[in-house]
Structure formats: C-alpha cells, structure tokens
Amino acid sequence: MFRRSLVAALWLALSAVAAPSLSTIQDVLYKADGARFNGTLTISWNSFQPAGGMAVVSQGSTVVRVTNGYLQVQLVPSTTAIPMATYNVTYTSDGRTQFREVWAVPATTQRLKVSDVRISSSGVGSATSGSAAADTSGVTVPMPESDVVGLVADLGARPIKGPNFAAGGVAMADSSGMMATVSGTASDCVHVDGSSGPCGTTVPGFVDGDTLSGLVDGVNASFGLSAVPSPSASLAIYRNGVIQKAGQDFTLTGGTVQFVAASTPQPGDTLLASYRTAGSGTTSTAATVTTPQVLCSGSGGSTQSTTLASVGACTIAAGVLLPGDRVEIEFDMAHQGSAGGFSLELHWGGTTVVHRDATSAEALASGRAGAAILAATAQLSSQTWGSVLAFAATAGNAADSYANGLTITLLGLVAQASDTLTLNNFTVVRIP
C-alpha cells in the first residue's frame, strides 16, 4: 500500500514538472455593427516544443464558445518555442466562417487581449476587442505595429537617419550611433574615423639599386646614400650581391652607412642599396637626388690576354638614370712590359665609346667619357691620351636603352702575353 502511494506521488510530481505553463486570453468581442459576437473560435496548431518545458504540444485543435462577446481561453505560449509557433483561429457565427486570424501567444501571467496576440487576419472583416469597430467592406484591416510581436524592438535596433544624413554619399555612424553622410569632394578618400581628405598623402618613395658613394679601398668604412631611408629598417645593403646585416655588418646614421672593421668593403667590391624614403603625393616615384652620386669607384683588374678581356665594370641598376642626368666616367691604365703594344676599349652597354691602340713604348693611358641621358638612350663623348699616345676625342649616340639597367665595361688586350695591362683606377659618377 505504501509502495503504491509512493509511485502515485512520484507520477503526480513528474506530471507537474512536465506540464507547460499557460497564458490566458480574455476579451470582449464585437461585430462591426457594434453587436457582441456570438459563435465559436476553432483554434488549431502544429506540434511544437515550449521553451523550458519537458512536454511537446502535439498537433491538434480546440473549439471555444463565445457568448455575448465574452472570450476566455488558456493556451501554451508559442512565442518562446524554437522556432516560434503560432495558432490558427477561425471565427464561426450564424453557421458560416466569418474570418480567420493567426495568433502568437507570449508567456505571461497577465491577462491578454486578442489584440495582444493577433499577428494577421483575413476574411470578411475582423472581430475587434473592446469598443473598437471592424471594417465590413471586405478589405483587410491594417494591423498596428504594436500588434506585431517583436516589430517595435526590431525597428528600434536599426540605424536611424541623423540630422547630417544626405542621400547619394558615403554613410557613417556618428557619435550618437545615427546615420550621417561623410562630407568632402568626389576625389577625396574616406578614413576609418569617418573623416575625408586627399588620397595618398603618405605614399612613400622608393630607391632601388642605389650605389653607395665613398672610396672602396679596403680602408674607408664610411659611405653615403643618395637619400635618407625612412624607415631606417627598410634599408637593404648588398655587398657583391650578398645582403649585409644591420647592426652586425654596418650601422646607419641619417644617410651615412658606417661599416664595422670586419666588414669594410675591399677594392673591387660592388655596393648597392635599396630602401624607402618619406614621400608625399598621390603616386610613388623614384627618389630625386640633387647632388652628384658616385655609382662606382675603385681599382680594376689586369690582363695578359691577347684578345679583349674585361678589367673593370660598373652595373647601373634599372630606375637609377633619369632623362636629363649625365654620367661621367674616368679611368687610368698602366702598361707593364715592352714586348708589344696594347689596346683598350670602353663600352656603354653594347656601344663602343672608346677604342685606342698604343705602342710598346706607352706606359700610361687615361681617358674620360660622358653620357648625356636622353628620353630612352644616351649621347656619348670621350677624350683619351697617354704619355706617348696622342690626344683624341669622339662623339656619338648609343642605341642602348638604360630603362632596365646597363653595364659600363673597360676592356684591354696586349700584343704579347708577356706584357700586362692593368686598370689602376676608374670612377663612374651620376650628375642629376
């Protein structure tokens, strides 16, 4: 007996826990002519799971009688179900269907009116609660925004046009969270804070293939750049094509590079640098150098070849030369031996600028050449002489384009392999 009572008590407790709460709809319904509604409401629903409840509301329907306009019904809340559920309500009076509605019932302990749960209606007019009248013309009655569940809150969450909003411009959220329009001209750029201004005011400049100025003699460790790197960390220095490490191989102060003793450039080394500079304007252009720039400087090699062989070269990277620049080249050669004479040449890319032949009695030969940088090519000139060799001058044009870079080469040969021709010194300077 005790066990049977305990089972019954547990069953009642579980039933109480599983039973969903109910919301009460209580109202007085009127027809459009002011008479109270008499008839039935057929309320139907599909299966749904109430929020926080263990029970599932199965598909079904119920009929509620309305007498003298008085309506009272209790329903499981449907707005808290996921997804939200609704009730279909059919009004029947005088033996025929008058209209239909859809209800969404919120969870509340307060009594609700029909207008609180109605979300849509259709048919020959709609019943109204309280003293309001209904349209009987066959046109659907407009629904107030307040009758749509969640509509007012959703509308309140959307952006609202502020006093500074204007159509046809870029929209932004002002300090009050209202929509405003960014002011400015059509060519301005919009910043992340909503302000506007000219585009590209902080575009940096770029210097590529910059040749460091300074004597490459194995002793000098201080070299100059054609501009000041900004930021300094953008500087990349290459010695004979091998990148040097800042702080380990060199230090930078402004536009001056100071190599450490162990990394001091040696005769014949080639030093090139690439970096960014602080620039302005809407486009990025090559940095403008306003002072002469030493592109290459140092001693060269020797040859005992009886055919032309290179004894020195200077490679000018793409983008270094600009129309209006001038390149000055100077060189000094020495001849050792007396078995035969020698020949020397200076090439601008693939164009021969200088060719001189000297006798075995010539010990020294010097020369200088100039290249006037034109729009695509260059106009060339030269002067050469020696201790015995007569002075000579030439002028001509080069067909070589410098846009993608260009190499200046010094070559020589000796008539007898027992003699030696040495390039003692050469310098290439760019004059902007």
Q: pLDDT tens for residues 85-111? A: 899 999 999 888 888 899 999 989 999
Length of the chain: 432
Domain holding 214, by residue range, is 205-277
For 256, phi then psi, to 5°, come to -110, 130
* C-alpha closest to that of 358 among 380, 336, 331: 336
Burial string for 243-267 (b: 16+ CB within 10 Å, else e) reads ebeeeebbebeebebebeeeebbee
CA distance 171 to 180: 6
Q: In this structure, are 364 and 410 located in the same domain?
A: yes
Radius of gyration of the chain (CA): 48
CATH number at residue 33: 2.60.40
The residue type found at 257 is V
CA distance 364 to 414: 13
Asked if 429 contacts 294 with a C-beta cutoff of 8 angstroms, the reply is yes
Q: pLDDT tens for residues 237-269? A: 999 989 999 999 999 998 899 999 999 999 989
Check pLDDT > 90 for residue 81.
no
Check pLDDT > 90 for residue 346.
yes
Q: Which of 112, 131, 149 represents a domain boundary (last residue)?
A: 149
Q: Which are the contacts of 370, defined by CB distance < 8 A and separation ≥ 6?
A: 326, 327, 328, 329, 380, 381, 382
Task: Answer whether residue 95 is part of any domain.
Answer: yes
Q: pLDDT tens for residues 275-306? A: 988 765 444 444 455 678 888 888 889 999 99
More confident residue, 360 or 189: 360
Q: In this structure, are 257 and 320 located in the same domain?
A: no
CA distance 163 to 169: 14
CA distance 220 to 240: 17
- In this prediction, residue 374 has a pLDDT band, given cuts at 50, 70 and 90, of very high
DSSP 48: B
pTM of model > 0.95: no
Tokens 């909503």 sit on residue: 194
Q: Which of 219, 246, 277 represents a domain boundary (last residue)?
A: 277
